[in-house]
Amino acid sequence: MEKGKYSEELNVAVRVVHMACSMCEKVQRQLLSTNPDQVKSKDDDSLVTVADWSVQATVSWMLCKAFDSQKISIVAEEDIQTLSKSESKSLLAMVVSAVNACLAEAPRFGLQGPEKTLDASQILEAISKCSSTGGRLGRHWVLDPVDGTLGFVRGDQYAVALAMIDDGEVVIGVLGCPNYPVKDDGLNKYSQQNVVMSRISSGEVGCVMYTSKGSRKAWMQPLIRSDKRFEWPNSAKLIQVSSIDDPALATLCEPVEKSNSDHSFAAGVANTVGLRKKPLRVYSMVKYAAIARGEAEIYMRFARSGYKEKIWDHAAGVLLVQEAGGMVTDAGGRPLDFSKGIYLEGLDRGIIACSGFKLHQKIIAAVYASWESSNL
């Protein structure tokens, strides 16, 4: 990959996400086979696992190690409220174990880990370090440690998403997709099934996709497994969006969960624009990955009333699609604004990601037509 303004940051980010994905795979296998206690419910009834906290602690520690720990700003989803409770001692112990095992492998990924194992207080501190709210000025790392936790606990699709915002613009996007099939059209084959327990060859699934703003290129690299040493970018290949602009031939990605996205309105838009194929329902930001890679052409998300989209759910995926040749805007056709803190403030109805301009314009027109006739 060519040298650019953010080459050093991208280099570290790609390696750290590879590390995090490796840890997630180990935690997921253990979770699915032996230990349901690794899953907890947060106050908003969403799920959080050992992997969420462990990834956040690992990424936070590595970023602080690589860059100025006093000045670094990290925006991330998890806090230490649950882990700090007295009844969570065993849960915290699992997080400490997972983080230290992951950090011990840092040299394999070309990074420097700690000189000695971290204790619980140091790991809680690393998680708490991710308390920034971002904003319009300066550089802010944005992390979703396990995007699509429900997919994670079901052995389905999930992602480790790391982005960097510089003066309000997303400039680095790295998306780790441990269960994403590396072969063409694999997502459709393996969607909504337990990939982990399906005995799929390890070489068939798992990748990290990444890009930087203005590169006009996006890359995909298979996950590095077992004891192999990480080499970057030797095994990476270019990816790009699909050239399909006929709605009748396009594939639509949409969220699996109905709680935060209006499937019925999306179906109305799909009917208006002339989509013929059955929607591909996928957990997590893997939907953005599918468009960037050319496996799908459209992603529509219409939040239900009262729900506010968070920047960590979109930053890395949005840049990946854009630099791979696609378009992402709100449903009114305006660029997404990542400069207002942890929420995508001022969002017009929803989010539309498409593989190209023509298809995007058709979807936007269909949104307006469907909106006028709906009772939303």
Q: Residues with catalytic annotation?
A: 52, 149
Is 156 annotated to bind ligand?
A: no
From the CB of residue 188, how many other CB atoms can be counted at a distance below 10 Å? 16
Whether residue 144 is annotated as binding a ligand: the answer is yes
**C-alpha pair distances (Å), 325 with each of 4, 222, 239, 276, 362:** 19, 21, 9, 24, 17
Known binding residue 184? Answer is no
Let me know if 278 is exposed, middle or buried by CB neighbors in 10 A (0-12, 13-18, 19+). exposed
Q: How far apart are CA 68 and CA 47, in angstroms?
A: 32
Token pair for 332: 């009114």
d(CA 347, CA 345): 6
- DSSP structure string for 2-28: ---TTHHHHHHHHHHHHHHHHHHHHHH
Tell me the H-state helices in 194-314. Answer: 263-273, 286-293
- Pairwise CA distance, residues 109 & 229, whole Å: 6
- How far is it, in rounded angstroms, from Cα 255 to Cα 287? 8
125 is in an annotated binding site: no
DSSP string, 56-105: HHHHHHHHHHHS-TTT--EEES--STTTTSGGGHHHHHHHHHHHHHHHTT
3-state secondary structure of 47: strand
What are residue 40's DSSP bridge partners? 48
> How crowded is residue 259: how many other Cβ atoms within 10 Å of its Cβ?
9
Q: How, if at all, do strands 298-301 and 351-354 pair?
A: antiparallel
Binding residues: 77, 144, 147, 313
Binding residues for Mg(2+): 77, 144, 147, 313
